[in-house]
C-alpha cells in the first residue's frame, strides 16, 4: 500500500515507508528507535518547506492531544503536543485562560507551530515558543527527557524552535494569560500613507498588521486592542470572495493592466471598515480555502517599509500573475537560538502565489530583496537558504547544533532537507 503524504498546499509530497500515529509516549519512543529513518514528525502539514518529507517514517501526533494539567493562578496549561490550536483555544477558554496572541489560522498542531516559530502580530507579543515553560521530548534514542525554563533555560532556548530535529515534543507547558476580549478594527488606506506612518501605526496598538492588495495602491490595516466592552457581532469574513474577484480581474484583464488597476482600486476603496468586540478566541483566526504557496521573511523592524516598497515594485513590474495580498506584521524580540526573532524587533513580510502555478520565479526574484536587508526566513515558508547562509544569521547557531547532537546522536531526525539546512554530512 502506498503512503503518499502531501502538505496543505500540495507543493511538497512524500512516499514514506511508514506513516504511524503512536497513542502514547512509550510507543512513540519505540518508533523513534526502530522505525525506518529518517523519522520526521508532522503536526498538521501546514508548512510550505519540505520539513516533514521523509522516505523513512512520518510520525503523526494526532492521538497525543488534549489538556494534561493546569495552574489557575499562574495561567499555565500543560498540553500534549499534537493538540490543534483550534481545539487548544477552547480548552484554554474553559479553564479561564487565553493564548496571548495567534497567527492567521488555528489549524496547526501546537508542536508544529512551535517547530517553525509560528507567530501573530504585535510589537510586544512574541511567537508561540516564547510561551514555553516546560518541554518534554522523546530524544533520538527514544528516551523521554524533560526541560524546564527554571533550571534549563538554555536548553529550552535551544529546543523551543527546533524544526522537528531536536526530538519529538510530547507535552509542553504554556504560559498563558487570563481570558480576555479584543476590539478589532479594520480599515483601508493608501499604501503611501501606510508606509509613511508605518512605525507609529504599528506601535499604536497591542496588535497591528496590514495587507497590501497588489495593483491597488491600497492597504487594509487591522488593529486589535484589549476591551472590556460587551461583545458585538464579528462581520462575516469574505476574504475568499475578495480573492476570487482579484483572480478574475487578473485573468480577465491580463492585456489591460491599467483597467485592472483601476477596477481593483475602486473595489478596494469601497471595502467597508469593521469595528467589533469579541472574546479572544473569536478574533484571530481566518478560514483559508484558496490554496497558495508562501514566502515570509523576518526583517529588522525599521527596514519594513523600504523592503515592502521594493517587493511591491518588483511584483507590479514583473509578476502580473500575482493577486494574493501581501501580509505585513511585527513580532517582539526573543532569546530562542533558532528563532528568526532572536534579539531583534521584527517586521515580517509575507508574499503568496496561487498553488495552481509555479511559485519559484516570483519567490526567487523576491528573495534577494529580503536577504539584502538582513532577513531571516520563516522556517515553514519557502526559502532557498542552506547551513552556510543560515549560520551567519543566527549568533547561537553552533550552540544549537551542539544541543542537537546531544539529543539526536544518530541523526535519526535528519532527512536530506534537514541535512542541507544544518550542514550535516549523511
Ligand atoms: C493557510 C496557512 C496560514 C498560515 N499562517 C501563519 C501565520 O499566521 N503565522 C505563521 O508564523 N505561520 C503561518 N503559517 C505557517 C505555519 O504556521 C507553520 O508552517 C507551522 O509550522 C505549521 O504547523 P503544523 O502543525 O502544520 O506543522 P508541520 O508543518 O506539520 O510541521 C512543522 C515543523 O514542526 C515539526 N513538528 C511538528 N510537530 C512536532 C512535535 N510534536 N515535536 C517536534 N517537532 C514537531 C515538524 O517536524 C516540522 O519540522 C501558515 C500556513 C498556512 C498553510
**167 assigned to some structural domain:** yes
- Which DSSP state fits 52? S
Instruction: Please give the pLDDT value at position 270.
Output: 87
Cβ density class 98-113: b for 16+ within 10 Å, e for less: bbbbbbbbbbbbbbbb
**Centre of ligand 1 from the C-alpha of residue 115, in Å:** 7
Residue pair 299/347 in contact (Cβ under 8 Å)? The answer is yes
**189 assigned to some structural domain:** yes
Rg of the chain over all Cα atoms, to the nearest angstrom: 21
Residue pair 184/280 in contact (Cβ under 8 Å)? The answer is no
**Centre of ligand 1 from the C-alpha of residue 338, in Å:** 15
Tell me: do 215 and 331 sit in the same domain: yes
Residue pair 170/81 in contact (Cβ under 8 Å)? The answer is yes
Residue whose CA is at the smallest distance from ligand 1 atom 1: 288
**Centre of ligand 1 from the C-alpha of residue 105, in Å:** 11
- Which DSSP state fits 266? H
Rounded CA separation 425/259 (Å): 54
**170 assigned to some structural domain:** yes
Atom of ligand 1 nearest to the CA of 378: 11
Residue whose CA is at the smallest distance from ligand 1 atom 46: 164
**41 assigned to some structural domain:** no
Instruction: Please give the pLDDT value at position 44.
Output: 98
Listed residues 142, 158, 178: the one ending a domain: 178
Nearest partner of 183 among 210, 212, 205, 209, judged by Cα: 205
Rounded CA separation 193/298 (Å): 22
Instruction: Please give the pLDDT value at position 2.
Output: 65
**Centre of ligand 1 from the C-alpha of residue 118, in Å:** 7
Which residues form ligand 1's pocket by a CB distance below 6 Å? 8, 40-47, 51-52, 61, 81, 103-105, 108-109, 111-113, 115-116, 118-119, 163-164, 168-169, 288, 378, 380
Cβ density class 49-88: b for 16+ within 10 Å, e for less: bbbbbbebbbbbbbebbebeebeeeebbbbbbbbbbbebb
Tell me: do 108 and 205 sit in the same domain: no
Instruction: Please give the pLDDT value at position 357.
Output: 96
Atom of ligand 1 nearest to the CA of 116: 21
Instruction: Please give the pLDDT value at position 153.
Output: 95
Residue 93, helix vs strand vs coil: helix
Atom of ligand 1 nearest to the CA of 166: 43
Tell me: do 117 and 198 sit in the same domain: no
Instruction: Please give the pLDDT value at position 417.
Output: 98
Rounded CA separation 155/337 (Å): 10
Tell me: do 362 and 220 sit in the same domain: yes
**31 assigned to some structural domain:** no
Tell me: do 204 and 341 sit in the same domain: yes
Q: Which residues contact 22 (CB under 8 A, 6 or more apart)?
A: 28, 30, 31, 59, 61, 63, 64
When divided into structural domains, the chain yields a total of 2
Q: 185 pairs with which residues across the strands?
A: 223, 275
Tell me: do 339 and 217 sit in the same domain: yes
**258 assigned to some structural domain:** yes
User: What is the CATH number for 115?
Assistant: 3.30.465.10
Tell me: do 137 and 189 sit in the same domain: no
Residue 364 domain boundaries:
181-377
Tell me: do 188 and 141 sit in the same domain: no
Tell me: do 126 and 248 sit in the same domain: no
The pLDDT averaged over each successive group of 10 residues in the chain (426 residues) is 88 98 97 98 98 98 98 98 98 98 97 98 98 98 97 96 98 98 97 98 98 96 98 90 91 90 91 96 94 98 98 97 97 98 98 97 98 98 98 98 98 98 93
Residue whose CA is at the smallest distance from ligand 1 atom 5: 104
For a pocket test of ligand 1, which of 61, 139, 164 has the largest count of ligand atoms closer than 8 A to its C-beta? 164
Amino acid at each position: 500500500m502506498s503512503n503518499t503524504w502531501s502538505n496543505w498546499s500540495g507543493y511538497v509530497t512524500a512516499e514514506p515507508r511508514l506513516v504511524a500515529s503512536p497513542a502514547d509516549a512509550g510507543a512513540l519512543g519505540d518508533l523513534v528507535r526502530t522505525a525506518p529513518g529518517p523519522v520526521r514528525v508532522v503536526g498538521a502539514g501546514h508548512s510550505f518547506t519540505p520539513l516533514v518529507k521523509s522516505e523513512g517514517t512520518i510520525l503523526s501526533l494526532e492521538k497525543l492531544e488534549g489538556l494534561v494539567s493546569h495552574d489557575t493562578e499562574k495561567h499555565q496549561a500543560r498540553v500534549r503536543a499534537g493538540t490543534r490550536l483550534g481545539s487548544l483555544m477552547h480548552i484554554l477558554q474553559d479553564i479561564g485562560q487565553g493564548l496571548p496572541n495567534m497567527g492567521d489560522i488555528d489549524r496547526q498542531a501546537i508542536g508544529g507551530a512551535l517547530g517553525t516559530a509560528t507567530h501573530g502580530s504585535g510589537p510586544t507579543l512574541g511567537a508561540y515558543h516564547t510561551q514555553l515553560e516546560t518541554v518534554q521530548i522523546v530524544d533520538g534514542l527514544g528516551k523521554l527527557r524533560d526541560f524546564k525554563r527554571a533550571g534549563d533555560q538554555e536548553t529550552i532556548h535551544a529546543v523551543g524552535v527546533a524544526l522537528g530535529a531536536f526530538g519529538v515534543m510530547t507535552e509542553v507547558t504554556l504560559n498563558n494569560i487570563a481570558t480576555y476580549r479584543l476590539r478589532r478594527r479594520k480599515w483601508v488606506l493608501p499604501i503611501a500613507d501606510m508606509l509613511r506612518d508605518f512605525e507609529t501605526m504599528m506601535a499604536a496598538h497591542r496588535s497591528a498588521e496590514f495587507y497590501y492588495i497588489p495593483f491597488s495602491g491600497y492597504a487594509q490595516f487591522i488593529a486589535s486592542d484589549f476591551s472590556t466592552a460587551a461583545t458585538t457581532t464579528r462581520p462575516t469574513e469574505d476574504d475568499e470572495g475578495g480573492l476570487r474577484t482579484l483572480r478574475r480581474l487578473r485573468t480577465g484583464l491580463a492585456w489591460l493592466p491599467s483597467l485592472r488597476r483601476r477596477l481593483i482600486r475602486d473595489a478596494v476603496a469601497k471595502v467597508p471598515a469593521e469595528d467589533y468586540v469579541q472574546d479572544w478566541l473569536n478574533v484571530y483566526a481566518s478560514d483559508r480555502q484558496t490554496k497558495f504557496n508562501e514566502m515570509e521573511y523576518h526583517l529588522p523592524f525599521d527596514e519594513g517599509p523600504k523592503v515592502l516598497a521594493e517587493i511591491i515594485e518588483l511584483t507590479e513590474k514583473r509578476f502580473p500573475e500575482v493577486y494574493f495580498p501581501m501580509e505585513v506584521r511585527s513580532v517582539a524580540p526573543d532569546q530562542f537560538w533558532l528563532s528568526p526573532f532572536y534579539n531583534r524587533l521584527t517586521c515580517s513580510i509575507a508574499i503568496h502565489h496561487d498553488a495552481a502555478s509555479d511559485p519559484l520565479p516570483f519567490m526567487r526574484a523576491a528573495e534577494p530583496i529580503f536577504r539584502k536587508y538582513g532577513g531571516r526566513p520563516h522556517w515553514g515558508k519557502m526559502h532557498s537558504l542552506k547551513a552556510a547562509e543560515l549560520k551567519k544569521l543566527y549568533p547561537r547557531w553552533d550552540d544549537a547544533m551542539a544541543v542537537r547532537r546531544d539529543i539526536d546522536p544518530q541523526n535519526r531526525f535528519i532527512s536530506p532537507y534537514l541535512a542541507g539546512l544544518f550542514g550535516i554530512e549523511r
